[in-house]
Amino acid sequence: MINKSDEEELKSLRKRIFITGYKGGMAHLASCFSCLEMLYALYIKGILKIDPTDPKQKDRDRFILSKGHGGLALYAVLERAGLIEKDMLDSYLKENSLIGGEPCMRDCEWVEATTGSLGHGLSMGLGIAMALKLDKSPAYVYVMLGDGELEEGTVWEAVMAAHSFGLDNLIAILDCNKIQKMDSVANTIREPHWVEKFESFGWAVYETSGHDIDAFTKCVHRVKENASGPSLIIADTVKGKGVSVMENNPNWHFKLPGKRDLKVFMEELGITEEELA
């Protein structure tokens, strides 16, 4: 469930993401909106064990947004958590911008891996998890993937390897919004059978809602309590969550609204003409 305060915060974050993307001239809005509650739970509700005063604290939990096109959502949540300054997010895709459209380690100390080229985040997370094991660190590595991204072959190289290394500190989160770029995942590769595929390579698989903060948080805790190897959380989500014209619509993977649809965004996110100017 989502309490009233969190619901208002999430609407405010969607508004912030949209206005920032609109003023920047481009954004993967639908991908940002499908994973927002989970990013909020990780950074705002305390799932990630991090020190806000020290981005590189040795035993911090690591988070990698492998579906890097949701980077604007990550930066918005980092701002709301007080981890980056407002000026950084405001500069998005403007002249002398401090951040780009996807997470980059060069731009922000809180970004653990540069992503955007899909399929590589889990492999990087696997390597980090192995290093933490060697250092006997209690830290966890969380990697968020998209279901369209799972069509990339490098993902499965990491999936196959993780169990053999006993990486009980590696937790993959699948933002399962069932839509990729311009069509549904099912229309592209038929029924994906994610549960059976991951389990066949030795992963423990859990399923939950990606929009119910309480359910998602409890699922993460359950994973950590029971982990004996790598784990996958399949989070059921809606691509474009929060704006009616964008929800479950493949046409919104990468575009901004025209004049007619802009009215819907403004009405449903509570945006004024002055805020958009």
CB 17 within 8 Å of CB 251: no
Name the residue with tokens 């020290």: 54
What mean pLDDT is reported for the chain?
A: 96
pLDDT score for 82:
97
Quote the pTM value: 0.97
CA 99 – CA 93 distance, rounded (Å): 7
Mean pLDDT, rounded, for 231-260 = 96
Percent of the chain with pLDDT over 70: 100
Mean pLDDT, rounded, for 130-140 = 98
Q: Beginning with the edge strand found earlier in the chain, give each strand of the sheet holding 62-65 in spatial order.
A: 62-65, 141-146, 170-176, 231-236, 204-209
Q: How confident is the model at residue 95 (pLDDT cuts 50, 70, 90)?
A: confident
End-to-end CA distance of the chain: 35
CB 149 within 8 Å of CB 66: yes
Q: How confident is the model at residue 274 (pLDDT cuts 50, 70, 90)?
A: very high
Name the residue with tokens 């590589």: 120
As given in the structure block, the two tokens for residue 60 are 């911090």
pLDDT digits (tens, 9 = 90+) for 169-192: 999 999 999 999 889 999 999 999
- Count the Cβ atoms, other than its own, within 10 Å of residue 106: 9
pLDDT score for 181:
87
Mean pLDDT, rounded, for 102-110 = 95
Q: How many domains is the chain partitioned into structurally?
A: 1
Mean pLDDT, rounded, for 243-249 = 97
Q: Residue 173: which domain range? A: 4-276
- 167: nearest Cα among 233, 227, 234: 227
CATH of the domain at 113: 3.40.50.970
pLDDT score for 137:
98
